[in-house]
Amino acid sequence: MKIRGFRIELGEVENALRQLEGIQEAAVIVRKTHDGENALFAYLISKDIVQLQAVRRDLEEVLPAYMVPAYMMQIEQLPVTRNGKLDKRALPEIVAVSEKEYTAPKNELEAQLCTIFSEVLGVERVGTQDSFFELGGDSIKAIRIVSKLRSAGYHIAIKDIMQKYTVEAISYAAQKSALAEQYEQDEVSGIVPLTPIVREFASWNLPKPHHFNQDMLMEIELEEEKQLREVLDALTAHHDMLRSVYREGQLEIVKVSDSKAYELKVYDYSEEQAATELMEAACTDLHSSIHLEEGPLVKAAMFRTAAGNLLFLGIHHLVVDGVSWRILQEDISTAVRQVKEG
């Protein structure tokens, strides 16, 4: 089973749960969340009342973050079919709700955080004492929250979301960051610590490892190539991983000054009747031209069509996943707006 690009053995997660004190039996399944993403749902059997937050903390000690179920529920027994197999359809839906009494936000930042929690976690009302994890949070959703906070002018680390849990505590950390000196992100370069996908990539023995890519096609309200280069320059300078190359089983981020972070081509199909077919062929060529060792791992194209201009981005899967695309789309939209405004 794959979730957000990571290969996950559900049995491995279930075994880890069964090893925890007090857990007699466990079942883990994959279901769609409110935003259409696949997520892990865990159902636990125990004689005692299970403290789900404690279970989550214990799991994080033995499993990587992407294997920790985002949603958990204690039930009396696992439903089975006539053949004695787990009846997945009969498992109850897990709705992310807080068990704590609602506490209203006391200031603008807390109110903003409650709104962001509500949007990202799909919960109608969030109070300042509600736990990020109890509402279905995971490391991927933490990234989205951090991205939205940064767009609002607050700079906070993902670990703050994961460790502080509540809106109130996270708000305090964000406040301290906002009151500190003007935030300036130092440029990152060098070898990237091994991530699960990088660790597994070499063992897959893909026939065309350079063609293990994801892509996106979006409308873009820019006319000039120079304007689009400004957007892509800002994007690759801000997101260091986009400047990576893959050498000898490791990802290495290259300095902005030393790298050609992306390749951009412009195609004018505004008078072509077969524009769609031509774009598909061009995108295929761009995908196949990615060079893992020399880079860049980002290929871009501006397609001029009769219906308007389109931006194509093809990026190697080693440096991008489903959640990353959402963040990139938001950043591209912001950068386009800023470029148009001058």
pLDDT of 117-168, one tens digit each? 888 888 878 888 887 877 777 766 777 888 788 777 777 777 778 777 788 9
Residue 211, C-beta contacts closer than 8 angstroms, at least 6 positions apart: 287, 288, 290
Residue 316, C-beta contacts closer than 8 angstroms, at least 6 positions apart: 210, 212, 213, 246, 290, 292, 297
Verdict on whether the full-model pTM lies above 0.75: no
Give the residue among 267, 340, 263, 265 at the shortest CA–CA distance from 305.
Answer: 267
Q: What is the pLDDT of residues 49-97, one digit of tens each?
A: 988 878 888 887 888 767 888 788 899 999 999 988 999 989 998 866 5
Average pLDDT over all residues of the chain:
84
Q: Are 252 and 240 in contact (CB under 8 A)?
A: no
Give the residue among 257, 231, 235 at the shortest CA–CA distance from 324.
Answer: 235
- Residue 80 has what DSSP assignment? B
How much is the pLDDT for 187? 61
End-to-end CA distance of the chain: 46
Q: Using alpha carbons, list the distances in angstroms from residue 296 to 59, 110, 277, 289, 335.
A: 37, 41, 25, 9, 21
Q: What is the C-alpha to C-alpha distance for residues 220 and 159, in angstroms, rounded to an integer?
A: 34
Which domains are assigned to the chain? Answer: 2-79 (3.30.300.30), 108-179 (1.10.1200.10), 190-341 (3.30.559.10)
Mean pLDDT value of segment 237-243: 87
